[in-house]
């Protein structure tokens, strides 16, 4: 697997991120959507990677620095052609390894509470994430679930 940091101008990456943004907006109630658009992902507090196998985009993910050793996963997405192939696990593994290199000792993630987000919640549990109270700027919200993992 090859990773490329940034790469927002790549048409395939751009299309994947736009689809991610539109889909998550469509399945989350107004006020409970925390997905970042491409401009949001360009923030200096965020590192974004596109992930490739055999020159095919398989997915992407980002790490937002909340504090010196605390990061948040953002924009984890598997490309449609690679769903149900355990690519989500590869993306999470990659992000965890990059987090360790960046001396992150605590990871957090917010995801939706609805049925649509069940696969994401199962994936986070599989990696040892535990439910936690809202972190950073998040507030208690029945449409969101919050998780944390100590590295």
pLDDT attached to residue 69: 97
pLDDT at residue 144, rounded to an integer: 96
Residue spans of the chain under pLDDT 50: none
Report the candidate in 60, 90, 62 with the shortest Cα–Cα distance to residue 74.
62
Residue 20 · residue 117 · CB < 8 Å: no
> What is the model's pLDDT at position 48?
98
**98-137 core/surface letters (b: 16 or more CB in 10 A; e: else):** bbeeeebebbbbbbbeeeebeebbebbeebebeeeeebee
Burial class (CB in 10 A: 0-12, 13-18, 19+), 50: buried
Q: Which domains does the chain have, with CATH numbers?
A: 2-108 (3.40.630.30)
- Confidence (pLDDT) at 6: 92
The 10s digit of each residue's pLDDT in 29-61 is: 888 889 999 999 999 999 999 999 999 999 999
CA distance 67 to 45: 10
Query: What was the pLDDT predicted at 33?
Result: 86
């Amino acid at each position: 697997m090859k990773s490329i940091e940034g790469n927002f101008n790549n048409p395939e990456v751009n299309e994947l991120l736009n689809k991610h943004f539109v889909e998550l907006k469509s399945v989350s109630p107004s006020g409970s959507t925390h997905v970042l658009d491409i401009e949001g992902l360009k923030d200096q507090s965020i590192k974004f990677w596109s992930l490739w196998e055999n020159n095919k985009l398989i997915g992407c993910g980002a790490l937002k620095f909340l504090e010196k050793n605390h990061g948040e996963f953002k924009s984890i997405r598997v490309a449609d052609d690679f769903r149900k192939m355990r690519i989500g696990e590869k993306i999470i593994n990659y992000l965890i390894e990059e987090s360790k290199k960046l001396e992150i000792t605590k990871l957090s993630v917010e995801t939706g509470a609805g049925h649509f987000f069940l696969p994401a919640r199962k994936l986070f549990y599989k990696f040892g994430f535990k439910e936690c109270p809202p972190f950073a700027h998040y507030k208690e919200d029945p449409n969101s679930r919050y998780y944390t993992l100590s590295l």
